[in-house]
Chains A and B, each alone.
Chain A
Amino acid sequence: MIEIKSLTKTFGSVEAVKNISITVPKGEIFGLLGENGAGKTTTLRMLATMLKPTSGTATLNGYDIQKEPDRVRGELGILFGGESGLYNRLTVAENISYFGELNNMDKKSIQNRIKYLAEVFEMGDYINRHAGKLSKGMRQKAAFARAIVHDPNILLLDEPSAGLDVSAMIVIQDFIKMQHQLGKTIIFSSHSMVEVDKLCNRIAVIHKGSLIDTDTVENLKTKNKSDNLEEIFIRLVGEKQ
């Protein structure tokens, strides 16, 4: 379970995230919907303990991001979209193993997990190839595998399918669904309405750092009398402006 309480982040005079409060129950895929620069990544970075909130806080499975950052990081796996963040001179297996070791896993568990992830993500052919020699889709799958090597209970996915081809995107989406079935709590940030519509149980619309609305996809559609999430988003954002 994730509880975000009045979370605020300012960079100098810029308020990137303004007093956001959200609760995501265990086992839910929760979408953060917003344009580029809306504050989605900053929110995820604060949840991942990379950035310290200016005010407010959040708890992940009961661990406070400010008081127990190490415990929080043990609970979560985070994936950033766009650049995969892999080490090009290491093989896919070495990339995954490195993060396994840094997440306190023993060598045997890491090896078992690599085998499992290679199978799930269909990476068997290139698991021992250097990451720098892979296609963007392959790299993103490897990055996903690395983020969840320690089998975290919470996944923070920041535009995970950005720039991927259709087949790689489907693999990623299938894996998100699979993690959902395993009872993982997932926060999924995207500016793709179609993807959010397809995957998320509930969504929060964020605009210029502020939370505009939070509800299930169905309720948002009913409330706004539209089946088109893009139309609803434009309307909500437009009202705020």
Chain B
Amino acid sequence: MRLKHTITVLKKEVLDIARDKKSLFSNILLPIIIMPVLMLLVGSGTKKFTQEMKENITVALTQESASPEAQEFLKNQIAIHDENIIIKDPVENPEEAVKTGYVKLVVVLDKDFQIKYERNEPFSIKILFDDSKSSSGGSVSVLERAIEKFNNVTTNKRLEEMGIDPEILTAVVQEKVNMTEGSPGNMILSMLLPMLIAMLVAVGGIPAATDLVAGEKERMTLEPLLTTRASRLSILLGKYFTINIFTFVSVLSTLAGFVISYIINPETITMGMGNVGGVKLQPAAVLLTLAVIVLMGMTFSGIQLAISTFARSFKEGQTYLSMLIFAVMIPSYASMMMQANDIKMYMFSVPVLNTISSLKMILGGVFDYSKLFLALGTSVLYVVLALYLSVLMFKKESVLFRS
């Protein structure tokens, strides 16, 4: 094997792919444009959706229960506890009213509620909502909280009238303190970013890998190349490093799109779920995690090269290689809801999962170096195995000349 030959192959392959305008557009330019558009659309959609459930909670009584007293009660005793609750005129058909968007919720009050209220007896308020409509189902909690407040105010007033301190009803006061550093946006980011990076690293090199062996086989350019003085290993390594380069170019251009989204509106990268920040990153941990990401890219480049070598044609290569996404999707989805401290030690040794886990850990502000070194060590092992597999394929004539 000669390093000079590997560099020659690498330079030629990079030049060859760089001249392919379609590849350049889909691998570099498109992610830079599409990411901000996508993030802005999803982010603003999510924000609108959450706002919709918190604001403009339109409520109406049913025609049967809509006495002037009931209307008055709803307005002055319930809606008064939340400025987002808007009382509308009574409705005849509750289902229709929610469906058409006239109101989000419909309320049914006992006909004799006034008498019961004055007698200090409980009466019922029935909330009618449509769970298949997020603006209706999601608004229930707002009205529930307002009713709860009315309950508290009324109970306290009644106790005070009886000369009893309302505190007697409170045995314990609970207080919740979140010990995690950072804002709520970090949680969303630690769910999304590791998955996104893992997927990009796994598929970023596919167009280059497909072209470099399966494509060469189809175009009959591989055979003359094998008759030069360059050894098969030199040729293979040249192609391998090319795939690596295009994997990371693709990842970086997508991340550039991500950064552009952040610059336009910081909340877009957490899908409108708040800002990120507050976590103090440790440089050593960040470097170890970056190394794990790079090693995952090198593993996938090796696997892609082996698959591309096995394929008879460009199309067959594309079909096989597109299945690689499942190798990332399964561990990504399985660990999506996990937070930094939920990740078990063994997960740092499983391919793909070790990258996702390392990223989740540092984004969650947890820095366990034994776990990071385990991820690094196993990643090196996977690179060696993937490269060995591709060398094995490239040297096997029954595979290389399969037609």
Contact = CB atoms under 8 A, between A and B. Distances in A.
Interface of A: 11, 45, 48-52, 70, 73-74, 76-80, 82-90, 94, 98-99, 101-104, 143, 146-147
Nearest to B20: A89
B221 interface: yes
Given A89-B16, A90-B12, A102 B5 contact: yes
Contacts of A82: 220
B227 interface: yes
A104 B229 contact: yes
Contacts of A76: 227
B83 interface: no
Nearest to B224: A85
Interface in B201-220: 219-220
B228 interface: yes
A50 B8 contact: no
Nearest to A83: B220
B401 A102 contact: no
A50 B228 contact: no
B70 to A, nearest CB: 78
Interface residues of B, number: 24
A11 B400 CA distance: 13
A70 B221 CA distance: 19
8 contacts: A50-B226, A70-B231, A79-B224, A85-B224, A86-B221, A90-B19, A94-B12, A146-B224
Interface of B: 4-5, 8-9, 12, 15-16, 19-20, 219-221, 223-231, 397-398, 401
A45 B226 CA distance: 10
Q: Name the prevailing secondary structure of the B interface residues.
A: helix
Given A87-B16, A90-B16, A102-B5, A73 B228 contact: yes
A92 B15 CA distance: 14
B221 A85 contact: yes
A78 B231 CA distance: 16
A83 B219 contact: yes
A80 B229 contact: no
A78 B8 contact: no
A74 B229 contact: yes
Given A52-B397, A85-B221, A101-B8, A73 B16 contact: no
Contacts of A79: 224
A85 B16 contact: no
